[in-house]
Amino acid sequence: MLHSLWQYRHFVISSIKNELKSRFARSKLGGLWMLINPLAQVLIYALILSNILAAKLPGIDNKYAYAIYLMAGLLAWNLFSEIVSRCLTLFIEQGNLLKKMSFPRITLPTIVVGSCLLNNVLLFIAMLGVFLVLGHQFSWVMLWLIPLTFIVVMLAIGIGLTLGIINVFLRDIGQAFPIFLQVWFWFTPIVYPVNIIPESYRELLRLNPMYSITDAYHQILVYGKPPFMGDIAIISVIALGLMLLSLFMFRRASPEMVDAL
């Protein structure tokens, strides 16, 4: 699969460019919409909840602490949810292409990942600008975001690609999982800090793989501290295992998916 990707690298790059162009065709603001939508979401939550939850964030001497906390968590979640959501329906949407053309099928999820990563990088740059305006300090600890981004991508591919394959044969997955994803968002401490959850229930958060990731983003971007290595090591192994499982399923199921489509 890696050899096929290298051979079709120009196809992948041009597809990402064409996707971005078509998404914002005839739009006056163009790619700015990729930044406006998540930042508007942050503004809405901040206006509604900042006065209630800002005091629940210890160790931050900034009156805009809640907005910073919210942006850090959404940076991780948006990348994860976008890759999973797009992989979920990827093969159904590209069914005609899969049936009519001969090309490495692995290029399709690669194009999705490349497009989502580009969106995430642009969002991160915009957030850095907002942090500067709000007077938030930066440090070398932000370099930890590079390996964390790869972990998020592996986890998202593992879940999204697996569900996308199953969705070809069982279309109920495509209807049910978006609802589950919304519930998952609210069970991850992104909009609210973890310390408002009772002590007796906090251990249950360890069962949520996105908790360790969003907590690491909060530690890095909000508190300027490196993430806890024990949690990162565990989630890295889980993400790698899920990604390898999904790629194995993808190789085995590719011929059957074409027939089913």
Place of tokens 């690491």: 216
Q: Say what the pLDDT of residue 214 is.
A: 94
Torsion angle, alpha carbons of 73, 79, 80, 84, to 10: 150
Would you say residue 155 has pLDDT above 80?
yes
Would you say residue 31 has pLDDT above 80?
no
Percent of the chain clearing pLDDT 90 (strictly above): 38
Band of the pLDDT at 58, cuts 50, 70, 90?
A: low
Distance CA 221, CA 57 (A): 13
Pull the structure tokens for residue 20: 């971005």
Q: Say what the pLDDT of residue 193 is.
A: 84
Place of tokens 């120009």: 10
Q: Say what the pLDDT of residue 61 is.
A: 63
21 membership: H or E segment, kind and range: helix 9-23
Q: Please state the domain extents for the chain.
A: 59-260
What mean pLDDT do residues 129-148 have? 85
What is the model's pTM?
A: 0.88
Instruction: Please choose, from the candidates 168, 228, 161, the residue with its C-alpha nearest in 3D space to the C-alpha of residue 194.
Output: 228
Among 62-66, 150-154, 242-246, the minimum mean pLDDT is found in 62-66
Torsion angle, alpha carbons of 119, 122, 127, 132, to 10: 180
Instruction: Please choose, from the candidates 214, 190, 213, 212, the residue with its C-alpha nearest in 3D space to the C-alpha of residue 203.
Output: 212
Distance CA 161, CA 85 (A): 10
Q: Say what the pLDDT of residue 55 is.
A: 56
